[in-house]
Amino acid sequence: MKLKIGNIELDERVVLAPMAGVTDITYRTICKEMGAGLVCTEMVSAKGLYYNDIKTNRLMKINENNRPVSLQIFGSDPDVMAYVVEKHINERKDIDIIDVNMGCPTPKIVKNGDGSALMKTPELAGSIINKIKKVSNKPVTAKIRAGWDSRSINAAEVAQNLEYNGVDLIAVHGRTREQFYTGKSSNNIIKEVKEKVNVPVIGNGDIFTPEDAVKMIKDTGCDGVMVGRGILGNPWLIKNIVKAFNNDYDFYVPTSTDKIQIVKRHAEMLIKELDEKIAILEMRKFAAWYMKGMKGSSEARNKINKISKADDLYYILDEYSKFIGS
């Protein structure tokens, strides 16, 4: 079964969650190759776009081979958000979907009333979607949380408001803002949202195995899943969720060689996008994620954390490959 978002039809029901500092053009490409039906950019500030911030524009670089691509924007001023959609995003043929962030829990975002702070102001959240829909030539989606805290679980109410104002799809993370990423994500909340609205609903939260994704669909009736932290260092999770959705449980288990090779390829791709030193500094976290749990990898990871040249990275990885091959 395919998933349709407005006039965009996805080949697979697995969506890459937008994650700041993670889902850049390079990692989106890797995850798309693993079979993601939709990939999302890191969140982009509507005000940054409004004021033509160079860094903000860099976040919007798209690889045509990754399409369909969703651009996630955040903000809490409906007029500013509608303006940037009309003046900056509509003209972009390489952006297929606009997603509005109503779920980011970080203090620097919510202190301005953005992200998951919008869970406290359902009418404002609805107004944002309403004004964007009036000017957008692309489908508009929203990513929400269960609520602000355990005393204000209102995902279903917010979702109904968004649907009334024209949203094309809703992604629900089954945690409150108060929880951040602690405790457990609630499939029951995702199920409630799915039962209360007619637009497609994507479930998000605690998907670390293909079985988690299958269980979320079964428990909630949602139309697809969004994977986030589960793919840190493990983009093969996407490939295996796609397999599970097609009743193929012969999962791909990456070898140590696979992991070393993807660190090298990721670095090579990143260097094409960034200055070499910056790219290798960025690779520190990615290498740590890819190599986590590998035999005797702590020393190699410690060495990677002290370098800034590609040749040094490749040398460390080659030496480590000899070590694990012995």
Q: What pLDDT, on a 0 to 100 scale, did the predictor assign at position 130?
A: 98
Is 72 annotated for ligand binding? yes
Question: How many residues in total does the chain contain?
Answer: 326
Q: Which residues are catalytic?
A: 104
Integer Cα distance of 163 and 197 in angstroms: 7
Mean pLDDT per 10-residue section of the chain, whose length is 326 residues: 92 96 96 98 95 86 96 97 96 97 96 96 98 98 96 97 98 95 94 98 98 98 97 98 96 95 97 95 96 92 95 96 80
Say what the pLDDT of residue 57 is. Answer: 82
Instruction: Judge whether 138 is annotated as a binding position.
Output: no
Q: Provide the pLDDT for residue 109.
A: 95
C-alpha 283/C-alpha 257 separation (Å) is 18
68 marked as part of a ligand binding site: no
Residue whose C-alpha is closest to residue 104's, from 115, 91, 113: 115
Query: What's the Cα-to-Cα distance from 67 to each of 46, 151, 160, 251, 257, rounded to whole Å?
Result: 22, 39, 29, 25, 29
88 is in an annotated binding site: no
Q: Is 6 annotated as a binding residue?
A: no
Q: What is the per-residue burial (b if ≥16 Cβ within 10 Å, else e) of 143-157?
A: bbbbbbeeeebbbbb
Q: Is the pTM of this model over 0.75?
A: yes
Q: Is 216 annotated as a binding residue?
A: no
Is 13 marked as a binding-site residue? no
**pLDDT computed for residue 52 by the predictor:** 86
Q: Which residues contact 289 (CB under 8 A, 6 or more apart)?
A: 232, 233, 234
Any residues with CB less than 8 A from the CB of 218 and at least 6 apart, and which? none
On whether 21 is known to bind a ligand per the annotation, the reply is: no
For residue 38, give the amino acid letter. Answer: L
Report d(CA 265, CA 299) in Å as an integer.
Answer: 21
